[in-house]
Structure 1
Amino acid sequence: MFQTFEDAGETAQTGERLKALRAELERLGVDGFLVPRADEHQGEYVAAYAERLSWLTGFTGSAGLAVVLADRAAIFIDGRYTIQAREQVDTALFTPCHLIDEPPATWLKANLREGQTLSYDPWLHTSDQIARLAKACRAAGAALVALDSNPVDTVWTDQPPRPAAPAVPHPTQFAGKSVADKLAELSSSLEETGADDAVLTLPDSIAWAFNIRGHDIPHTPVALAFAILPREGRPTLFIAPEKADEALRDHLAQTVDIAAPEAFEPALRTLGEAGRRVLVDPACAPEKIRTLLADAGAEIVAAQDPCILPKARKNAVEIEGSRMAHRRDGAAMARFLAWLDREAPLGHVDEISAAETLEALRAETGVLEDISFDTISASGPHAALPHYRVSRASNRPLAPGEIYLVDSGAQYRDGTTDITRTIVVGEPTVEMRDRFTTVLKGHIAIARIRFPARTTGAQIDILARMALWQKGLDFDHGTGHGVGSFLSVHEGPARISKAGHVAMEPGMILSNEPGYYAEDRYGIRIENLILVTEAEPVEGGERPMHGFETLSFTPIDRRLVEPAILDDGELAWLNAYHAEVRRNIAPLLEGEDLAWLTAATEPISR
């Protein structure tokens, strides 16, 4: 199985760990230290050795930052994790702060004293982050200084080792484009920026550029490595020798040089000494890389990682692979939901057994590589936690009259999936049907929209919220994120959110997942993946338009739909969607599962 259900936090040990860290900071002669939820590559997910924030605080969310001073400490989390942080973190030791409403810079200005020194690990923070924090420290009369080693690593005596699984080739039959073709495309983009070289730090960028995959990060098929990409000549991949077996070396022999990680810093210094113009993405590259280059004499070109946009624009092979993956995944989801409808009313299902069953059904496809993230399997009040993670301690049964929310996904070699369904066990309340259908209206609004080229996610995010806003309701997460092709389930740069300022382009795959959360009672989220397409021209239209193709094929719980709340167009969309679900996955089902699908996709009438 790919998911474990161990209890999340270790709050009993938090006090001793915080005490040990403070003693180490005193020994180093600094007054404080920043502990981000990050590794040297700044991806969303990290290997076990880099779970420093979780080890220190007990908080297991995928984003956060702790600031530790001699007499106080704070942990910063966003709206997704407000409730989770209260449950996992000892608030007598760490004051929870909202990352947006009370950002670290504001807290530092108020809590640092003149003359104090706040330290950080320059491998774990981007240049953009350090610039903001350094400004806040100066405003308080304090200094922000980089350390040569991480003090958390010093006191974390049983820190796990770094991952050592081999990287593997990703065949062109799935990638759709050869390494040579990708490198030619990247060389052209470097020429446009005027850079001589680019430093690649994001594991998914490296995986995409060199058509490789790995097993270093939970649920994200990447290998931890760095790369230097010259505008002319062969790039160099800096990867641990144990990851670069003969198969990988043969795969890259014609296009890419391979070097050990120890050669990376000297290679950066060599670029600097040669006076090269080096592209470094300030939003994702560690500050350490920028300082190594600058100190050696390089001219820094601050620009976006050149892989990010072409990686997000899926090619025809990747798009067809995603369609195939979603049909396969939709059949597994239908089998799961049919099982759930049979077993949950009998009291035979809890959150863990549901997650395990869903994973087992995906595994029965014979091509499951991994799940794409830890399944959110949440019943009743747990469903009100958008990023709830079930553990042995928190596990609860699915009870009649309650909502069950399952947010899950799979990694197949031809595509990455992510889908959320909200199901009622037994009969829903009138309020549940009202809230569910109101969320569904927002989901349908996104699915049906046509929009001009160069439209951003922020410009359409309101569509997902409008029906909720009219009832005085909202949700505190984005409406949609990008999704990779057998890569990260959360991929930039485009997203549908209030902060989504990147234009959506054909080939991009995003999620469509509005929600509603009634604290301590229930939660609702309806998520499909959608593909940005070039829309058919409208008669009399004057501008090129884009739209979305829905990729996910799983029924939406008809028992939670109140038809009177939907207008005619919305009801027609729902019935047409269910017809597409049946057409695409019925051939993959049989027996009682097929019978369940047929009933679950029957048209709804008023």
Structure 2
Amino acid sequence: MHTHEARLDALRKQLAQDGLDGFVIPISDEHMSEYVGAYAQRLAWLTGFGGSAGTAVVLKDEAAIFVDGRYTLQVREQVDGRLYSYQSVPQTSPAAWLGDHAPEGARIGYDAWLHGRPWVESVASALSVRGARLVPVESNPVDAVWADRPAPSIAPALVHAEEHAGQSASEKRAAVAEWLAERKLDAVVVSALDSIAWLLNIRGADVDRTPLALSFVLAHADGTADLFIAPEKVTPALVQHLGNAVRIHDREGFVPALEAMAGKRIAVDPERAVAAIFATLDRAGAKTIALTDPVVLPKAIKNEVEKAGQRAAQARDGAAVSRFLHWLSVEAPRGGVTELAAADRLEAFRAEGGLLRDLSFDTISGAGPNGAVVHYRVSEETSRTLEPNSVYLVDSGAQYVDGTTDITRTVWVGPEQPPAEVRDRFTRVLKGHIALARAVFPKGTAGSQLDSFARQFLWSAGLDYAHGTGHGVGSFLSVHEGPQRIAKAAGGQAGTGQVLMPGMILSNEPGYYKTGAYGIRIENLVLVEPRDIAGAEGDFYGFETLTHVPIDRNLVDVALLAPEERDWWNTYHARTLALLSPQLEGADRGWLESACAPL
């Protein structure tokens, strides 16, 4: 019996012992985080799946794994199809599948600290049709059989200086207090780690690729707050930074604090707080009011200091990525560069400046057919060599104390010219990227209303891509930050209805993927800014492009570009040259000059 089969077998024995007929295993933690610490990687341990979004459902005689379009190929490579049936979201869901597959009268377990309340309600409703029940467990049965499960990180929480934050923690707490007072609320539970980091101006090292500290906060209407955090993480500098208005408690004190809220009106965000928080407050006799976490929108709207920091981080990052692309243009056509070696080299260029804190996500380094796997994660087993005359896609980002970056470039590895089909597809993606970059839109426009700007040239050729066009980005925080996004509104995806507001940062990343052949994506970060239009009736907005790195001219079919698209290209590359050339020298600068020459 191989490893994952043995683990599944052990879990089934544990479920029988616990009197359960099934169990649901998401990728999640107590904070509903996108990226979770090693201690919470239960799905990866059980199934082998390494993506950042997915769920497994284990019954006595069958099991299924649910992933969206980004992971269709990856799940088949990593998860044994004899053990788990592959299920595609949103075509189906754990709720729908359990509604069809759960035995009559079954008890299906779930960990209330890993799921949101809306999820619990939808699954309970689907099960009730079969006379089955969804049962919260006292302790997670996966943890019971995961013998060498890592402990949660005890890295110290770090102070995020006001020179980078642009606003003091006390001002931020005062704004939350005002929000509570307006709604006649006593307190708000802040459980999303990036909200806590932003509100208190703290960062940490508990989650790979995102500078967060594991903790919970109760913020009160008098402007004070309670922080629940492991004592090992608390330093004298942190205590001094937080001051008297923030009371520090052991993380273990969070549930007792919720239980002491009888008669209080408490705001809790159903999208960001786990079901267990609602259940604890309800049992305690508190009145829970379901409202969006009041930190979410202010965090998304960057202040002037954060904008300046982001521009500085982008310029620094752009120089590092350009040095990498120059190196790649010399080395890759010789045929000796692997995906892993390229990713390592790119990280090394970023690290040379001495200011890199971490990557903002695991680099997607996809040669040829691996580039067609949208959220491909390179490993020793899958790493391909970048072959001459092929397409290479690299999507990467960095965490600097003044900003978070995310950029994708698709390059042609020579020496021959790219085939006509590849140039056509690349140019259609480029035209969509430019259309979104140049978009002007009235106040009140949501990201979903701009999504087709980026897809139109692919659609006209009967093509599309199975991911969103843009996500929000934090300020030395999460590389995927809500509430704003640019995506199809189908399926009620979170964030697609959020109106875009000045100060929000988003990615602009249309793509095209030919399974088994190649992938194309062009990604820059953009900042929403007001647009002055003579005679405008009302407020209008557009985008400032923040990312400046050459786009591969070898892949462009210039004949397909309209004059205004060519103008955008030339203006963008002139700006890129002006911004980056002072940071580069010698052959790197020479490469940049030719890469930025007008079309």
TM-score by length of 1: 0.97
Q: Which amino acid aligns with 2:268?
A: V
Q: Which amino acid aligns with 1:147?
A: V
Give the equivalent residue in structure 1 for 2:188.
Answer: 198
Structure 1: give runs of 5+ residues left out of the alignment.
1-10
Q: How many residues align?
A: 591
| Alignment match of 1:281 (pick from 254, 269, 275) | 269
| Alignment match of 1:186 (pick from 176, 179, 200) | 176
Q: Which amino acid aligns with 1:245?
A: T
CA distance in 1, matches of 2:540, 2:88: 38
Runs of 4+ in structure 1 displaced over 6 angstroms? Answer: none
2:477 maps to 1:487: yes
2:529 maps to 1:541: no
CA distance in 2, matches of 1:168, 1:569: 47
Q: 8 Å contact 1:216–1:223 — kept in the other structure? A: yes
| Alignment match of 1:328 (pick from 313, 316, 323) | 316
Equivalences for 1:410-489 in 2 at 5 Å? Answer: 410-426=398-414, 427-489=417-479
| Alignment match of 2:164 (pick from 174, 189, 192) | 174
Deviation at 1:535, TM superposition (A): 1.0
Q: 8 Å contact 1:108–1:140 — kept in the other structure? A: no
CA distance in 2, matches of 1:543, 1:178: 33
Deviation at 1:539, TM superposition (A): 1.7
CA distance in 1, matches of 2:303, 2:309: 10
Stretch deviating more after TM superposition (14-23 or 254-263)? 254-263
Deviation at 1:454, TM superposition (A): 1.2
CA distance in 1, matches of 2:167, 2:267: 24
Deviations 1:331-366 (A, max 9, x none): 001100000001111123111111111100000111
Equivalences for 1:86-485 in 2 at 5 Å? Answer: 86-271=76-261, 273=262, 275-426=263-414, 427-485=417-475
Corresponding residue SS for 2:210:
coil
2:571 maps to 1:583: no
Deviations 1:168-198 (A, max 9, x none): 1000000000011101111122223332110
Q: 8 Å contact 2:226–2:247 — kept in the other structure? A: yes
Equivalences for 1:16-31 in 2 at 5 Å? Answer: 16-31=6-21
CA distance in 2, matches of 1:12, 1:520: 28
CA distance in 2, matches of 1:253, 1:542: 48
Give the equivalent residue in structure 2 for 1:522.
Answer: 518
Give the equivalent residue in structure 1 for 2:69.
Answer: 79
Give the equivalent residue in structure 2 for 1:566.
Answer: 561
Corresponding residue SS for 2:450:
helix
Deviations 1:373-421 (A, max 9, x none): 0000110000000111111111111111110100000000000000000
Stretch deviating more after TM superposition (210-219 or 140-149)? 140-149
Equivalences for 1:38-49 in 2 at 5 Å? Answer: 38-49=28-39
Give the equivalent residue in structure 1 for 2:58.
Answer: 68
Q: Which amino acid aligns with 1:326?
A: Q
Deviations 1:200-254 (A, max 9, x none): 1111000000000000000100001001011114100000000011111111124
CA distance in 1, matches of 2:61, 2:183: 47
CA distance in 2, matches of 1:540, 1:371: 45
CA distance in 2, matches of 1:348, 1:194: 65
Give the equivalent residue in structure 2 for 1:5.
Answer: none
Q: Which amino acid aligns with 1:366?
A: G
Q: 8 Å contact 1:447–1:550 — kept in the other structure? A: yes
Q: Which amino acid aligns with 1:575?
A: N
CA distance in 1, matches of 2:2, 2:89: 25
Q: What percentage of aligned pairs have identical amino acids?
A: 53
Q: Which amino acid aligns with 2:586?
A: G
Q: 8 Å contact 1:179–1:255 — kept in the other structure? A: no
Deviation at 1:268, TM superposition (A): 0.3
Deviation at 1:262, TM superposition (A): 1.4
Q: 8 Å contact 2:33–2:192 — kept in the other structure? A: yes
CA distance in 1, matches of 2:256, 2:377: 42
Stretch deviating more after TM superposition (469-478 or 96-105)? 96-105
Corresponding residue SS for 2:547:
coil
CA distance in 1, matches of 2:144, 2:410: 44
Give the equivalent residue in structure 1 for 2:2.
Answer: 12
CA distance in 1, matches of 2:223, 2:587: 59
Corresponding residue SS for 1:180:
helix
Give the equivalent residue in structure 2 for 1:4.
Answer: none
Deviation at 1:475, TM superposition (A): 0.1
TM-score by length of 2: 0.98
Deviation at 1:52, TM superposition (A): 0.2
2:505 maps to 1:509: yes
CA distance in 1, matches of 2:565, 2:186: 52
Q: 8 Å contact 2:177–2:223 — kept in the other structure? A: no
Q: Which amino acid aligns with 1:589?
A: L
Give the equivalent residue in structure 2 for 1:552.
Answer: 547
Q: 8 Å contact 1:379–1:522 — kept in the other structure? A: yes
Corresponding residue SS for 1:368:
coil
Corresponding residue SS for 2:527:
strand
2:593 maps to 1:603: no
CA distance in 2, matches of 1:246, 1:216: 19
Deviation at 1:26, TM superposition (A): 0.3
CA distance in 1, matches of 2:280, 2:38: 27
Q: Which amino acid aligns with 1:178?
A: S
CA RMSD of superposed structures (Å): 0.9
CA distance in 1, matches of 2:2, 2:69: 25
CA distance in 1, matches of 2:91, 2:591: 46
Corresponding residue SS for 2:593:
helix
Q: 8 Å contact 2:37–2:152 — kept in the other structure? A: yes
CA distance in 2, matches of 1:494, 1:389: 25
Q: Which amino acid aligns with 1:132?
A: S
Deviation at 1:255, TM superposition (A): 3.1
Give the equivalent residue in structure 2 for 1:8.
Answer: none
Q: Which amino acid aligns with 2:18?
A: L
CA distance in 2, matches of 1:436, 1:347: 23
Q: Which amino acid aligns with 2:578?
A: R
